Amino acid sequence: MKVTFKIEYRTEWGESLALVLQDRKHPMSWGEGAVWSVTVDCPAAALKDYKYVVMRDGLITRPEWSHHSAKAPKGAKTLELADRWIDCPIPGCRFIMEHQAARFDRPGFRGAGTAIPVFSLRTADDFGIGEFRDLRPVVDWAAATGQCIIQLLPVNDTTRKGEWADSYPYSPISTFALHPLYMRLQEIGVPVDKAFLKEQAELNALPELDYPKVFKAKMKRIRKAFLDHGAADLATAACKKFIKENAAWLPEYAEFCARRDKLEPEYYVWMQYHLDKQFSEEVAYARSKDIHFKGDLPIGVSADSAEAYWHPELFNLDSSTGAPPDYFSTDGQNWGFPTYNWEEMAGDDFAWWKARLRKMSQYFDAFRIDHILGFFRIWEIPTEYTSGMMGHFNPALPYSLGEIQDMGLPIDGLFHPDPRHPGMYQPLIAPASANLPQWQQERFGALYNDFFYHRHDEFWRRNAERKLPELLGASGMLACGEDLGMVPDCVPGVMDHWRILSLRMRGMDQEGPWKELSVCATSSHDMETLRMQS
C-alpha cells in the first residue's frame, strides 16, 4: 500500500524532517505552507506505530513527544495522512493536547514502594537464594500495606565462573538474559527427594548467602533437569514461541555461554525459557494487584559479556566507566565496564538500546537509569589505570597546547592528554598546583572551575538530548534517573523536560520538600538500609 504522510512543521535553517516507520528513517520533502511530505510503500500493520523527527547534519535533534497510530480502510491501496506534531507537554498547563485526545488536570500521583533485591528474599521453597517465585508474597504484602511499587536490583545473568565476583548484579554478561539462580527448581522437573530436602535445608539455614556454594548446588540440579526433560520442553509450542520472540538476542547469548562452558547452546535456551515463564507469571500477578515492578538499568555492560563478544564495535574496550571523586568515594570510582561507542550506536538509531528497553518493559513498568549522568558525559578511565583519579570526561571540550601556554600554565601536574583528541588536554581532577606562584594558582583555579562546572553545559545538554528521547520512546516504562554525584547544571533541566524522575536521598543534604517528579528514598543499594540507620 502506498501511504503519503504529511505534517506541517516550521523548521530552523539547516533542519529537515524525517518519518520514522518500522525503525527506518524516511527523509521528507518541504512544500508550500511548511508542509513536509513523503510517500512510502508499507503494510497496513506498520501504521500502528510511527513518528516524525527533526534532523540536522544526519542526526536527530528533536523527536516528537509520542508516536502516531493510524488504521487504513480495508482494501485500500493508497492512503494520505495529515498529521499534527505531538509536542512535549508544557509544565503548568491546565490541560494539554496529546494527538487528538485531551487530558485535564488532576491531583498528582503519589505512591509508596519498597526496594529489595531478588537474591535477598527468603521462603521455605528457596534453594539458598531468593527466586522469582518469592516475589508473590512480597506483592501480597505490598498490596495489603497500600504500596504500589517494588524496586529490584538488576536481574540479568552475571555468570562467569560461579564465584563471588559473579554476585555483583551490575556486571551483566547479557542485558537480555535472566539470571539462572533465580529459577525455582521444583518447577523444572528437579526431583524433591531426601537429598534435595537435605541440601535445601542446609543452604537455607546459612546466616548469609554463600554464592559459590549455592551456584554449584543449583546449577548441578538444573543441568540434570535439562538432560532429563530439556528435549521435550524445547519441542513444546510455548518454548518455540519464546525462541521466535527472542531471536534477536537468544542465539548469540546461548552460543556465547556454550563456548564458555563447552556445552550445547540448547541448554541455555531452555534455562531462559523457564526463567522467563516464572518471572512473567509473577509480573502478571503483580499487575493484577496494581503492584508494579521497577527495574534497574545498569550504566555498564561487562567487557566479557555476550554483547561485547559479538558486537565489540558498540564499546570502547580500551577504557573503563567510572565516576570522579564525590560523596561516595574520595578516590573516584572505577567500575570496570567499557564505555559506549555512542557514534556507532547512533548509526542504527540506537537499535541495541531500544531492544534492551523493550525487553526490560516485558517485566517492568518503571525503571531506574543507573548513573544517568553517563548519558550526558561519562568519566572514562584508560584500562591501564585502576584509580578513578586518572579519568577524564568523554565527550569533552579539551584545551589545545597553545591555549594552555597562552594562559601561562604548565602541563605537568595540571593537565593530562585527552585520549579521544590527540594533542588536546584536560585538567587533572586532582592537580598538583600548591607549589605554583599565586597568580598561576588563581588562573588555573578559574580554568578548573570553568571546565568541570560550566564549560560543557550546553555541549552535554545536546549530547544527552541526542540519546535520551530515542531511548525513552522505546518503551512505556516510567523513567527514573539516579542523578547523584558531580551533577552538571544542565542535568535537572533535561530531566524535567523529558519527564524523567530525579532521585532524592534523605541524609544527603536533601531533606525536602521534594518536587513532584522525583523519587524520595531512605537509602540506596550503596548505603545502609533503613533498619541499620535506626
Which residue's C-alpha cell is 508550500? 32
d(CA 346, CA 359): 20
Cα dihedral 71, 73, 75, 78 sign: negative
Torsion angle, alpha carbons of 135, 139, 145, 146, to 10 = 140
pLDDT number for residue 97: 46
d(CA 338, CA 321): 6
> Alpha carbon 412 to chain centroid distance?
38
d(CA 364, CA 279): 11
The answer to whether the bond into 395 is cis (omega within 30° of 0) is yes
- Angstrom CA distances, 301 to 167, 216, 297, 305, 308, stand at 15, 24, 10, 7, 8
| CA-wise closest residue to 485 among 354, 339, 337, 333 | 333
pTM exceeding 0.85: no
**Cβ neighbourhood burial of 290 (10 Å; 0-12, 13-18, 19+):** exposed
Percent of the chain having pLDDT more than 70? 95
Which residue's C-alpha cell is 538444573? 222
Q: What is the pLDDT of residues 426-461, one digit of tens each?
A: 999 999 998 999 999 999 999 999 999 999 999 999
DSSP-derived secondary structure letter, 273: H
Beta strand ranges found along 302-407 (DSSP E): 315-316, 319-323, 333-334, 339-340, 366-369, 378-382, 392-394, 399-400
Cell of 86: 505531538
CA-angle at 468, arms to 319 and 159, nearest 5°: 50
pLDDT class of 105 with cuts at 50, 70, 90: low
Q: What is the pLDDT of residues 244-277, one digit of tens each?
A: 999 999 999 999 999 999 999 999 999 999 999 9
> Which strands, in side-by-side order, build the sheet including 78-83?
29-31, 35-41, 2-8, 78-83
Q: What is the pLDDT of residues 2-39, one digit of tens each?
A: 999 999 888 878 889 999 998 899 999 988 878 999 99
> What's the Rg (C-alpha) of the chain?
26
Write the class of the CATH domain 2-104: mainly beta
| Average pLDDT of the residues in 372-376 | 95
Does the structure show a pLDDT above 50 at 129? yes
Cell of 448: 578548573
Q: In what helix (H) or strand (E) does residue 505 lie, and over which residues does it extend? A: strand 502-505
Q: What is the pLDDT of residues 471-486, one digit of tens each?
A: 898 998 999 999 988 8
Round the average pLDDT of the chain to a whole number and report it.
92
Which CATH superfamily hosts domain 113-310?
A: Glycosidases (3.20.20.80)
pLDDT number for residue 94: 46
Does the structure show a pLDDT above 90 at 308? yes
Which residue's C-alpha cell is 538474559? 177
pLDDT number for residue 511: 65
Cell of 528: 545502609
pLDDT number for residue 95: 45
Domain spans in the chain, listed from the N-terminal domain onward:
2-104, 113-310, 397-453
33-47, 177-191, 196-210, 237-251: range with lowest mean pLDDT: 33-47
pLDDT class of 507 with cuts at 50, 70, 90: low
Angle between helices 457-472 and 490-497 (to 10 degrees): 30
> Best-predicted range by mean pLDDT among 49-53, 202-206, 326-330, 524-528?
202-206
